[in-house]
């Protein structure tokens, strides 16, 4: 059986980043749902809001978009987004790690694919595709 | 005993679906707020069991069923579905890569194409009116049910010669098949067609938040000629990349509600662990039939909801 070096490294990094993301999300959710940290939107209001279209929900709640939620980390629901964000960054971190490895191994085509993928993920994470909407 | 528990789980699942959707919506404002996340957790737990036993990703069942039978708007359900598919794939992929049951070199070019188009799909999904998204979702789910019904699978497809693009990407290797107890040499063909297929898969994954295991596996296995087990494993890796790109669009748009996402992810992950234990003794054929039935019901429900016939 052949498992390449970059595949082994990728597996190890993904394992840890995903575990951390899920653990943070679960922990933050308990803090949020049990009211240890005050939410921005009262939990009792949620049933009247989650059936609305996204645009209407944003209008009524003033919920942040893009990376603005980072300014609301003292609110329960946005603490949870740290876990979600970590899950979203897990793949990017792993690609960055194997990109270095492939460059060292002079695997130019594979390294180029990895570089392009990093650009796509960075652009998505940086909100380049929805900014200004 | 375990077989009884499976039947009980399937029965609860069926009863859940039998509950009138109007009742759920009308009473959404009357019941305690925490009942809905709790119900979502229970539903996701059962879904995790059924999905593993039936060999499908959770997203393809989650979005149409929760969108059709829970009071949450489809915008938030799509966001939760995408994160559900992403987190499930993130937890499964490390072991698959380590054991050689997923291939980075096979997946990376396909993931690049799929991730770009999944961003486009997510943006299209937010640009379209809700009823159009609902109707298109329903039609897609019905098409997926048909695909699952008619598509065959091939353990070790014949690949007479590797195409030049696949050779350039080094889409070949050896993996160990534990069931056969031997190493299996593999290579793929029709790489350009595979890239085009993954462009389409990305659009659908991003637009509906479905995950895409239902399409990844047939494309890798039947179109490109990768062995079935390698296709299943590589599909999980592909989900981690394709869904990540689209997930950022949902996060930035504000369509990720932690009150939906966290119970869903935790419920499905716990359910999947039970499902993995039941895998050997579960009546897989019956569960697969149940999944097809659920897809048909969910697809019809989404179409009717989209057309304003059954809201």
**Domain with A79 in it:** 5-125
Instruction: Mutate one of B25, B36, B97 to test the A interface: name it (highest A CB count within 10 A).
Output: B97
pLDDT one-digit tens code per residue, B223-241 = 999 998 899 889 989 999 9
Contact B295, B61 (CB under 8 A): yes
Percent of chain B with pLDDT over 90: 58
3-class DSSP assignment, residue B125: helix
Is A129 an interface residue toward B (CB < 8 Å)? yes
Alpha-carbon span B232 to B222, nearest angstrom:
12
- Domain assignment present for A25: yes
pLDDT one-digit tens code per residue, B188-213 = 999 999 999 999 999 999 999 987 88
- Domain assignment present for A107: yes
Under the banding of pLDDT at 50, 70 and 90, the label for residue A132 is low
A100 CA: distance to closest CA in chain B (Å): 15
Instruction: Mutate one of B244, B263, B264 to test the A interface: name it (highest A CB count within 10 A).
Output: B244
Alpha-carbon span B234 to B283, nearest angstrom:
26
Buried b (16+ CB within 10 A) or exposed e, B96-123: bbbbbbbbbbbbbbbbbbbbbbbbbbbb
Residue B167 has pLDDT above 80, yes or no: yes
- Domain assignment present for A133: no
Closest residue to B28, CB basis, from A51, A84, A127: A51
Residue B276 buriedness (CB in 10 A; 0-12 / 13-18 / 19+)? middle
Nearest Cα to Cα of residue B243 among B83, B56, B95? B83
Is A72 an interface residue toward B (CB < 8 Å)? no
Closest residue to A87, CB basis, from B87, B98, B245: B87
Structural domain total, chain A: 1
Q: What tokens appear for A33 in the block?
A: 């749902």
ipTM for this model: 0.95
- Domain assignment present for A130: no
Q: Which residue has 């737990």 as its token pair?
A: B45
Q: Report CA torsion sign: A98, A100, A106, A107.
A: positive
Nearest CA in chain B to A9: B98
Under the banding of pLDDT at 50, 70 and 90, the label for residue B17 is very low
Contact B129, A46 (CB under 8 A): no
Instruction: Mutate one of A99, A129, A132 to test the B interface: name it (highest B CB count within 10 A).
Output: A129
pLDDT one-digit tens code per residue, B36-73 = 999 999 999 998 888 877 777 788 889 999 999 999 99
Nearest CA in chain B to A81: B258
- Domain assignment present for A41: yes
| HEC string for A13-81 | HHHHHHHHHHHHHHHHHHHHHCCCCCCCCCHHHHHHHCCCCHHHHHHHHCCCCCCHHHHHCCCHHHHHH
Closest residue to A54, CB basis, from B75, B116, B248: B75
- Domain assignment present for A72: yes
Nearest Cα to Cα of residue B226 among B269, B184, B266? B184
Contact B118, B243 (CB under 8 A): yes
User: Ranked by mean pLDDT, which of B91-100, B147-156, B239-248 comes out on top?
Assistant: B239-248
Alpha-carbon span B289 to B7, nearest angstrom:
13
The pLDDT value given to residue B29: 54
pTM of the model as a whole: 0.89
Closest residue to A26, CB basis, from B73, B252, B262: B262
Is A60 an interface residue toward B (CB < 8 Å)? no
Contact B125, B256 (CB under 8 A): no
The pLDDT value given to residue B1: 43
- Domain assignment present for A132: no
Alpha-carbon span B117 to B6, nearest angstrom:
38
A126 CA: distance to closest CA in chain B (Å): 9
- Domain assignment present for A58: yes
Is A15 an interface residue toward B (CB < 8 Å)? yes
Is A31 an interface residue toward B (CB < 8 Å)? no
Contact A94, A29 (CB under 8 A): no
Contact B262, B44 (CB under 8 A): no
């Amino acid at each position: 059986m052949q498992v390449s070096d970059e595949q082994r490294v990728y597996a190890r990094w993904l394992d840890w980043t995903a575990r951390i993301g899920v653990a943070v999300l679960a922990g933050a959710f308990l803090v949020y749902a049990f009211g240890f940290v005050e939410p921005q939107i009262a939990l009792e209001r949620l049933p009247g809001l989650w059936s609305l279209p996204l645009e209407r929900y944003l209008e009524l709640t003033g919920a942040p978009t893009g990376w603005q939620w980072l300014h609301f980390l003292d609110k329960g629901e946005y603490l949870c987004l740290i876990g979600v964000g970590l899950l979203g960054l897990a793949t990017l971190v792993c690609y960055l790690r194997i990109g270095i490895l492939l460059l060292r191994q002079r695997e130019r085509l594979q390294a180029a694919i990895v570089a392009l993928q990093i650009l796509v993920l960075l652009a998505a994470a940086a909100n380049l595709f929805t900014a200004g909407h | 005993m375990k077989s009884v528990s499976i039947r009980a789980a399937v029965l609860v699942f069926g009863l859940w679906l039998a509950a009138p959707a109007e009742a759920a919506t009308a009473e959404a404002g009357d019941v305690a707020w925490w009942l809905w996340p709790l119900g979502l957790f229970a539903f996701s737990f059962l879904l995790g069991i059924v999905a593993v036993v039936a060999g499908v990703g959770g997203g393809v069942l989650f979005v149409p069923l929760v969108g059709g039978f829970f009071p949450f708007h489809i915008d938030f359900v799509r966001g939760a579905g995408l994160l559900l598919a992403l987190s499930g794939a993130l937890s499964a992929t490390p072991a698959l890569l380590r054991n050689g049951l997923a291939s980075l070199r096979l997946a990376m070019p396909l993931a690049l194409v799929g991730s770009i188009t999944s961003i486009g799909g997510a943006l299209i999904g937010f640009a379209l009116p809700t009823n159009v998204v609902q109707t298109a979702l329903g039609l897609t789910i019905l098409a997926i049910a048909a695909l699952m019904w008619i598509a065959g699978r091939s353990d070790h497809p014949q690949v007479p010669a590797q195409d030049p693009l696949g050779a350039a990407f080094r889409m070949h290797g050896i993996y160990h098949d534990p069931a056969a107890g031997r190493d299996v040499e593999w290579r793929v063909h029709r790489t350009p067609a595979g890239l085009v297929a993954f462009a389409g898969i990305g659009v659908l994954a991003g637009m509906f938040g479905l995950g895409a295991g239902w399409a990844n596996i047939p494309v890798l296995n039947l179109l490109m000629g990768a062995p079935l087990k390698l296709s299943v494993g590589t599909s999980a890796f592909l989900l981690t990349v394709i869904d990540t790109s689209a997930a950022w669009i949902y996060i930035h748009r504000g369509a990720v509600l932690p009150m939906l996402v966290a119970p869903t992810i935790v419920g499905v992950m716990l359910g999947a662990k039970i499902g993995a234990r039941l895998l050997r003794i579960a009546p897989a054929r019956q569960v697969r039939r149940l999944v097809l039935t659920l897809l048909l019901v969910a697809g019809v429900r989404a179409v009717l909801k989209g057309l304003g016939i059954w809201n």
